[in-house]
């Protein structure tokens, strides 16, 4: 085996290669979840407007609108987490890291990402168990009409897993000093057209 061939597996599993693979995955998955979350916002707006018009004209709201909007809202929020993570829109405080030397700031950011990943991982594990039970029992909510809530239960761990994927990428990129637009503070819904990965996939 040549020296070049023996080095290939090492390069394939290097932090930079892992970061690039994670970035590719994020670029593929994020637009799908963003589209679903955007559709959820549209459903919420439409249901609210129709309910308000119904109350104004007839004095009665549409049955089940409140229950349905609650379910859709949960899915919309958790499906939008990956986009927020990709665009660097999650709340963060840089009061300390902005005043630290770059090496120290990198260590602090790494520890913060590890802490966030542990919390998100625990939440994912708990919500997966809840989602499985909810699907098995066909869980639904009592109201003016019976509304299944298991889709919202399923949406929560999906959103958390995708958020964890972004956190893992940011952690690997932090360690390997891999430069990417993912996680960098950007305008909401700004396309990734300036990303080398996006250019390769197009």
pLDDT for 166-188, tens place per residue? 888 888 887 776 655 455 555 44
The yes-or-no verdict on residue 7 having pLDDT over 60 is: no
Confidence of residue 201 (pLDDT cuts 50, 70, 90): very low
Exposure b/e, 68-79, CB count within 10 A at least 16 = b: bbebbebbbbbb
pLDDT at 199: 39
Instruction: Report the alpha-carbon distance of residue 78 to residue 76 in Å, rounded.
Output: 6
Q: What is the dihedral of CA 159, 164, 169, 172, to 10 degrees?
A: 180
pLDDT at 169: 87
pLDDT above 90 covers a percentage of the chain that reads 25
pLDDT at 179: 57
Q: Please name the residues in contact with 51: beta carbons below 8 A apart, sequence gap of 6 or more.
A: 61, 62, 65
Confidence of residue 198 (pLDDT cuts 50, 70, 90): very low
pLDDT at 79: 92
Instruction: Report the alpha-carbon distance of residue 145 to residue 189 in Å, rounded.
Output: 36
Ramachandran assignment for 88, one of left (phi > 0), alpha (psi -120 to 50 degrees), beta (any other)? left
Confidence of residue 86 (pLDDT cuts 50, 70, 90): confident
pLDDT at 1: 46
Once rounded to an integer, what is the mean pLDDT over residues 63-76?
86
The yes-or-no verdict on residue 129 having pLDDT over 60 is: yes
pLDDT at 178: 60
């Amino acid at each position: 085996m040549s020296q070049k061939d023996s080095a290939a597996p090492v390069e394939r599993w290097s932090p930079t290669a892992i970061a690039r693979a994670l970035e590719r995955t994020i670029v593929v998955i994020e637009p799908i979840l963003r589209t679903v979350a955007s559709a959820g916002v549209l459903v919420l707006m439409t249901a609210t407007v129709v309910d308000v018009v119904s109350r104004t004209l007839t004095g009665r709201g549409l049955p089940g609108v409140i229950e349905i909007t609650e379910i859709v809202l949960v899915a919309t929020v958790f499906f939008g987490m990956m986009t927020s993570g990709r665009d660097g829109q999650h709340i963060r405080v840089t009061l300390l890291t902005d005043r630290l030397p770059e090496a120290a700031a990198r260590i602090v950011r790494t520890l913060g990402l590890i802490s966030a990943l542990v919390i998100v991982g625990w939440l994912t594990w708990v919500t997966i168990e809840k989602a499985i039970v909810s699907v098995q029992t066909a869980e639904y909510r009592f109201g003016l009409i019976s509304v299944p809530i298991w889709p919202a239960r399923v949406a929560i761990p999906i959103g958390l897993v995708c958020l964890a994927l972004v956190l893992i990428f940011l952690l690997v990129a932090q360690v390997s000093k891999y430069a990417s637009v993912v996680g960098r503070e950007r305008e909401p819904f700004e396309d990734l057209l300036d990303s080398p990965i996006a250019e390769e996939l197009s």
